[in-house]
Copies of this chain bind each other. A is one copy, B any other.
Amino acid sequence: MATVPGDPVITVFRSRLRPEAQAEYESMAQRMLELASAMPGFVELKTFVADDGERVSLVTFADAASHAAWRDHPEHRIAQRLGRDRFYASFDISVCRPERVRRFPE
Residues of A near any B CB (own CB < 8 A):
1-3, 10, 12, 14, 46-50, 54-56, 58, 83-84, 88, 90-105
**Chain A contact residues: over half helix, strand or loop, or mixed?**
strand
With most chain B CB atoms within 10 A of its CB, the pick from A1, A96, A103 is A96
Checking B3, B54, B96 against A98 with a beta-carbon cut-off of 8 angstroms, the contacting residue is: B96
Q: Are A102 and B93 in contact (CB under 8 A)?
A: yes
**Are A3 and B50 in contact, with the CB atoms below 8 A?**
no
B47 near A3 (CB under 8 angstroms)?
no
Number of copies: 2
Q: Other than the known A48-B54, A91-B103, what 19 A-B pairs have Cβ atoms closer than 8 Å?
A: A1-B2, A1-B3, A10-B94, A12-B58, A12-B96, A12-B98, A48-B48, A48-B55, A48-B56, A49-B49, A90-B104, A90-B105, A92-B101, A93-B100, A94-B96, A94-B98, A94-B100, A95-B98, A96-B97
- With A50-B47, A104-B88: A97-B95 Cβ-Cβ less than 8 Å: no
Task: Report yes or no: B54 in contact with A56, Cβ–Cβ below 8 A.
Answer: no
